[in-house]
């Protein structure tokens, strides 16, 4: 796009003035013709004496309009001024019975034309117009007659010179003012354009925002639907697992019960002892059955947690009896491995708050993991009162340890560390996940520290029991 220059603006404004001038002139001419017709019908003057000069002016105006439409500004001004000079010159020259006063008046309109040129064209053109005006004013009345110069002609010539002088003088100042005005006009136009642009920009961003809001709304609806579907799926999974676990436990209990009876109670079978080869396989059936039952119990627990249906019996719990029980079980878990079972428990521990069965389950999970992942050394069960309303318990071992990259995932469901997948270490990847869920429900936390090759320590906390404030009887 072309950026309009100052000159373009100046030209534009002057062209507007010029087109106003020719229109006014044309209108005035039509009025003069009409007045002339009325006037001449009463007197002896021929209408042609008016019509010819007026035609000259009209032709000048039409030429001016045509040149303006072609964007030829300077020739347009000359066409307009030329028409005026010729028309008025003809009136001065015309040998009609024509009042001397009217002729003098017409002579005095020449300075006005010169002023118009002064304002519309540069100084050089004003001087040319002055010369033309002087020539017409001084020579036209004497054309074809004896050359005389009347006093009114000298006055008119003097006025023309004066008008030219003033026009030249003022056009400089006026040019400055016009420049200033044009500059302000240009700035105002620019501001208007900028405003228009900003308005469009605001409109565009409003539409963009509206579209985004609509998208967001749609996304929200979809998200809500997805959330509902996910909740439904989770509940369904919980329900499905609970049913499945229940259905599996019944036949499994039969398998475990019968294999145990066959192994340990030969009196039930008329004291007929099993051949040793059978005993080994039956022992395998019994251990695998127990393992499967443990797995099913874990799944059942997790599905209950998922469905929010795991009921805990939260009460005050004394830890010492639990420790005794789990340590006895742990001895069995270690078997004949060269591992020392140690305890690091102060003589006095506060009562804690929780479900004693579940606390036992968590400690046993940890001890059985330690027994599983330790080949020699020691397994220690420890506890201490933190003095801040929490008791911390831990199980540490000198086992294979856990690589740092596994530390986060071992607490997730069905996730095992690299060690867990080692041959000969049966596991489901559920023990720690359940322990974490149970502790969450009891208001505790669980975390682990480990150095691969040296051992691991699993810590968990339980809140110290605080008796309910007894309500004062009023």
Binding site for ligand ADP (CB under 6 A): 365, 369-370, 373, 397, 399-402, 410, 416-417, 419-420, 427-433, 456
How many CB atoms are located within 10 Å of the residue 266 CB? 13
Minimum Å gap between C-beta 451 and ligand ADP is 11
**In terms of CB distance, is 381 or 433 closer to ligand ADP?**
433
Minimum Å gap between C-beta 369 and ligand ADP is 3
Residue with tokens 């040129």: 117
Minimum Å gap between C-beta 298 and ligand ADP is 8
Minimum Å gap between C-beta 376 and ligand ADP is 14
**In terms of CB distance, is 382 or 429 closer to ligand ADP?**
429
Minimum Å gap between C-beta 452 and ligand ADP is 9
Specify whether the backbone of 144 is left (phi greater than 0), alpha (psi in -120 to 50) or beta.
Answer: left
**In terms of CB distance, is 36 or 379 closer to ligand ADP?**
379
Minimum Å gap between C-beta 300 and ligand ADP is 16
Do 252 and 285 form a contact (C-beta atoms < 8 A)?
no
**In terms of CB distance, is 365 or 461 closer to ligand ADP?**
365
**In terms of CB distance, is 6 or 445 closer to ligand ADP?**
445
* Sheet of 455-463, strands arranged across: 339-344, 377-385, 390-397, 455-463, 446-451
Minimum Å gap between C-beta 338 and ligand ADP is 17
Q: Dihedrals φ, ψ of 343, to 5°?
A: -130, 145
Determine the distance from the C-alpha atom of residue 449 to the mean position of all C-alpha atoms in its chain, rounded to a whole number: 43
**In terms of CB distance, is 325 or 452 closer to ligand ADP?**
452
Residue nearest to ligand ADP (CB): 420
**In terms of CB distance, is 303 or 369 closer to ligand ADP?**
369
**In terms of CB distance, is 246 or 425 closer to ligand ADP?**
425
Minimum Å gap between C-beta 263 and ligand ADP is 25
| SS3 of the chain | CCCCCHHHHHHHHHHHHHHHHHHHHHHHHHHHHHHHHHHHHHCCCCCHHHHHHHHHHHHHHHHHHHHHHCCCHHHHHHHHHHHHHHHHHHHHHCCCCCCHHHHHHHHCCHHHHHHHHHHHCCHHHHHHHHHHHHHHHHHHHHCCCCCCCCHHHHHHHHHHHHHHHHHHHHHHHHHHHHHHHHHHHHHHHHHHHHHHHHHHHHHHHHHHHHHHHHHHHHHHHHHHHHHHHHHHHHHHHHHHHHHHHHHHHHHHHHHHHHHHHHHHCHHHHCCCCCCHHHHHHHHHHHHHHHHHHHHHHHHHHHHHHHCCCCCCCCEEECHHHHHHHHHHHHHHHHCCCCEEEEEECCCCCCCEEECHHHHHHHHHHHHHHHHHHCCCEEEEEEEEECCCCEEEEEEEECCCCCCHHHCCHHHCCCCCCCHHHCCCCCCCCCHHHHHHHHHHHHCCCEEEEEECCCEEEEEEEEEECCCCCCCCCC
**In terms of CB distance, is 77 or 402 closer to ligand ADP?**
402
Minimum Å gap between C-beta 436 and ligand ADP is 9
**In terms of CB distance, is 107 or 399 closer to ligand ADP?**
399
Minimum Å gap between C-beta 414 and ligand ADP is 9
**In terms of CB distance, is 111 or 431 closer to ligand ADP?**
431
Minimum Å gap between C-beta 447 and ligand ADP is 12
């Amino acid at each position: 796009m072309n950026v309009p220059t100052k000159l373009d603006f100046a030209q534009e404004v002057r062209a507007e003035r010029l087109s106003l001038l020719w229109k006014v002139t044309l209108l005035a001419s039509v009025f003069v013709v009409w007045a002339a017709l009325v006037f001449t019908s009463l007197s002896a003057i021929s209408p042609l004496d008016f019509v010819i000069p007026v035609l000259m002016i009209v032709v000048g105006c039409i030429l001016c309009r045509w040149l303006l439409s072609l964007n030829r500004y300077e020739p347009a001004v000359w066409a307009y001024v030329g028409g005026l000079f010729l028309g008025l010159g003809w009136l001065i020259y015309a040998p009609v019975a024509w009042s001397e006063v009217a002729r003098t008046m017409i002579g005095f309109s020449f300075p006005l034309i010169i002023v118009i040129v002064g304002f519309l064209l540069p100084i050089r053109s004003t001087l040319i117009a002055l010369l033309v005006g002087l020539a017409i004013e001084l020579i036209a009345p004497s054309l074809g007659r004896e050359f005389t110069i009347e006093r009114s002609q000298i006055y008119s010539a003097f006025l023309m010179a004066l008008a030219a002088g003033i026009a030249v003088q003022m056009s400089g100042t006026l040019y400055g003012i016009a420049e200033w005005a044009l500059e302000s006009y240009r700035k105002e136009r620019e501001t208007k354009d900028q405003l228009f642009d900003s308005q469009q920009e605001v409109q565009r961003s409003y539409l963009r925002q509206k579209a985004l809001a609509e998208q967001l709304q749609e996304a929200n609806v979809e998200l809500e639907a997805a959330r509902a579907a996910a909740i439904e799926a989770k509940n369904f999974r919980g329900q499905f697992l609970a049913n499945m676990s229940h259905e599996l436990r019944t036949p499994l209990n039969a398998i475990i019960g019968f294999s145990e009876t066959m192994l340990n109670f030969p009196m039930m079978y008329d004291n007929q002892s099993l051949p040793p080869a059978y005993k080994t396989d039956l022992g395998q059936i019994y251990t695998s059955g127990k393992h499967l039952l443990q797995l099913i119990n874990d799944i059942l627990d997790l599905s209950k947690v998922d469905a929010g249906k795991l009921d805990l019996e939260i009460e005050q719990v004394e830890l010492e009896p639990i420790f005794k029980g789990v340590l006895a079980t742990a001895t069995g878990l270690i078997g004949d491995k060269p591992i020392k079972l140690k305890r690091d428990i102060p003589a006095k521990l506060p009562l804690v708050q929780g479900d004693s069965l579940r606390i036992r389950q968590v400690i046993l999970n940890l001890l059985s993991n330690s027994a599983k992942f330790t080949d020699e050394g020691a397994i220690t069960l420890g506890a201490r009162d933190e003095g801040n309303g929490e008791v911390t318990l831990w199980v540490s071992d000198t086992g294979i340890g856990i690589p740092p990259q596994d530390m986060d995932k071992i607490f997730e469901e069905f996730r095992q560390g690299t060690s867990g997948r080692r041959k000969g270490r049966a596991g489901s990847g559920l023990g720690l996940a359940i322990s974490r869920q149970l502790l969450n429900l009891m208001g505790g936390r669980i975390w682990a520290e480990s150095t691969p090759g040296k051992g691991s320590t699993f810590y968990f906390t339980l809140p110290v029991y605080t008796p309910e404030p007894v309500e004062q009887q009023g």
